[in-house]
Amino acid sequence: MKILGIESSCDETSVAVVENGFKVLSNVIFSQAAMHAKTGGVVPEVAAREHTEQILPVIQKALKDAKCKIENIDAIAVAYGPGLISSLLVGVTAANVMAMVHNKPLIGVRHILGHVYAPFLEVKSAPQFPILTLSVSGGHNELYLLRGHFEYSILGETVDDAAGEAFDKVARMLGLPYPGGPVIEALAKKGNPEAHPFPKARFDDPERLDFSFSGLKTALQYFLEKRAKSRKKVTPKEKADIAASFQHAVTEALTENLMEALKRNKDVKEVHLTGGVSANMYLRGVLEKKLKMFQKETGRKFTFRVPAKLSYCTDNGAMIAGAAFFQHKSDPKKYREWKFVDAVAEFDM
Ligand code: KG4
Ligand code: ZN
C-alpha cells in the first residue's frame, strides 16, 4: 500500500511517499528555517504563506522522486494537529482536495503520533512491542509505552515548555539564531557541560514521569541578567559553557525519566528516541551509554532505535505516511471515513 503523506504543521512543507509503513520512496522537505531565523522564531502568517507557495511543487516532486503517478497512490495522509492552525490548513486542504479529485481515502494523522512512527521507517526488521518511546520536539515532549499499534499510554509529558522549545528560547537569550537546537549543540562542543549545575525540576506525583524546562530557562535568564547588570560581557568560552551545561541539564532530565520508565516496565523490547531533539548527538550518546550500562547490570535485552536519518527526526511527510499505514491497518473503516471537517473540529489551537 503506497501512501502519500503531507506535513505542514509548523515551518516545514513536506510530502513523502511511503510503502507499507516502512519503505520510503520519497521524502521532500522544504524548510523555512532560514526565513524564520531573521525574526528569531516562526511568524505564523509568514509560515502559512510559504506553505501555500510550496505545497504543490513539493507534492509534485515527492511523486516524481518516488517514480509514481497519483494513480499509483492508495491513500492520502495528512497531519491535522497539533500545530499552527494557519499552517495546518494548507496541508489539510491540499490533502482533502487531492483525495476528493482522485477518489482516494483520506487519513488524518496526529502529528505527535507521526513522530512516534519515525523510527519505524526503513528498518530491516519490524519493531517489536512493547516499545518505550521518548518523543522530544519543539512543540511537544512525551514518554509513551506502546503495547501495539495505536495502543499506548502516556507515562509522562511536559508540564510547561517542550525540550526543543527550551533550546530555541535559550538560543535566543544567547543571541543565537532559530532553530536553537543545532546551534546550541555545535556551540556546546567547545564548552564544559559541568560548568553550571542548573536546577532540576521537582514534581508532586512520583508515579508520573513528567518533564519541566521552564525553571531551567528562568535560571539561565537570571544568570544572564546578573551578568548584564555587572556590565561584564559574556565571553565566547562562557557562552559555550552555558550551552554545554544547558544541553547537559536537558539530557539528564530526559534520560532519567526514560531510565525510570524502563525499570518499571520489565517487558519492554525496544526503546525509541524520536522528534526534532533526537537529532542531538550528545543526547543520543548519553542515552546509549546509560542503556548499555543498564543492560549490563540487569541482563535485560532490548533494541535501541532512533530514526534512520536525521531528516526523519524533525518534521517530515514520511513519518505521517508511515503512521497512516499502521493507523489505517488497525481500523480501516474509521480512517477511510475521516473527513476534512473532522480535522477542523479537532484542530488544537
Ligand atoms: O519535531 P520538530 O521538527 O518540530 C516540532 O514538532 O516541534 O522539532 C523542532 C525542534 C526545534 O525546537 C529545534 O530546535 C529542535 O527540534 N532541534 C534540536 C536539534 N535539531 C532540531 N534540538 C537539539 N539538538 C538538535 N540537534
Ligand atoms: Zn514535530
Q: Model confidence over 211-270: pLDDT tens digits?
A: 999 898 898 999 889 888 887 888 999 999 999 999 999 999 999 999 999 999 999 999
Whether the predicted pLDDT of 349 surpasses 80: no
What lines the ligand 1 site, CB under 6 Å?
10, 137-139, 164-165, 167-168, 179-182, 185, 275-277, 279-280, 314-315
Alpha carbon nearest to ligand 1 atom 3, residue: 314
The residues placing their C-beta within 5 Å of ligand 2, an ion, are 137, 315
Contact present, 171 and 241 (Cβ < 8 Å): no
Ligand nearest to the CA of 137: 1
How close is the Cα of 61 to the center of ligand 1, in Å? Answer: 25
How close is the Cα of 279 to the center of ligand 1, in Å? Answer: 7
pLDDT of the residue at 336? 62
Render pLDDT for 131-153 as a digit per residue (tens, 0 to 9): 999 999 999 999 999 999 999 99
In angstroms, how far is CA 263 from the centroid of its own chain? 24
- Could you tell which of 314, 319, 348 is best to mutate to test the pocket of ligand 1, judged by most ligand atoms within 8 Å of the CB? 314
pLDDT of the residue at 337? 63
Residue 10's region, left for phi above 0, alpha for psi from -120 to 50, else beta, is alpha
Mean pLDDT to the nearest integer, 24-52: 90
Q: What is the DSSP string of 265-330?
A: -TT--EEEEESGGGG-HHHHHHHHHHHHHHHHHH----EEE--SSGGGTSS-HHHHHHHHHHHHHH
Contact present, 97 and 112 (Cβ < 8 Å): no
Render pLDDT for 164-179 as a digit per residue (tens, 0 to 9): 999 999 999 999 998 9
Ligand nearest to the CA of 169: 1
How close is the Cα of 317 to the center of ligand 2, in Å? Answer: 10
